[in-house]
Amino acid sequence: MEIKQSTPVLQYSRSYVEEKSPEEAAEALKQASGVSEAVTRVILGICMAAWAVIGLFLWIPRVLRAVVAFSLELVQSTVSETTADAAGRNLRSAANFYRRGFVGAVEAIRPSTDGDEQGQSEVSKEAESAQRSLLVRETAWAIVIWYAILWSTGIIRGTSADLATVPWGRIWSAWVEAIWSVPTLLGLG
């Protein structure tokens, strides 16, 4: 007597997937690379727009400081009959600061020509700490200068001590509510 199996036996077969020709594979890779390049350029555009604002915020106080330092160094070097080369280098560096941000952004996304993806060099902990310290000092300097400019023109009324009385919690919650309402305003939510 033959016993029938209650569940059917599944038979598996090896499916054959035709491999792409080298030309088709190269075209697919080119398309993927094109999409990646387009996304990279969009992100670069956003970063450059951010640098246009942040860089200008940092650049103007830096140029003001360099002009004052150069002027004082020029007077001192004239009186003491020395050169003001160091002050001149600082002035050129400050003048080129804003432009260097844009150039650095574009150069940072270019593929490496020597094939070295590891990076140029490793930065020591001390150098990294010095870079962070420089960023903090430059940002603090920019904030002080912009505050002085805005206060002296009357745009800001009051002193820096008045900042403690600002209702920061309400301002923050208003910003968060405004950000969350954007999709609704655009008809997305």
- Could you tell me where the DSSP H helices lie in 125-167? 125-152
| CA–CA separation, 37 and 5 (whole Å) | 58
| CA–CA separation, 16 and 13 (whole Å) | 9
* 3-class DSSP state of 36: helix
Question: Residue 174 corresponds to which tokens in the numbers above?
Answer: 């208003």
For residues 108-133, average pLDDT? 71
DSSP label of 4: P
Interval 11-29: pLDDT, tens: 555 665 566 677 777 777 7
Dihedral sign computed on CA atoms, order 112, 116, 117, 121: negative
For residues 96-119, average pLDDT? 79
The answer on pLDDT for 35 being more than 90 is no
Closest CA to 49 of 116, 91, 102, 122: 102
Mean pLDDT (the chain) is 81
* Residues with Cβ within 8 Å of residue 16, at least 6 apart in sequence: none
pTM, entire model: 0.59
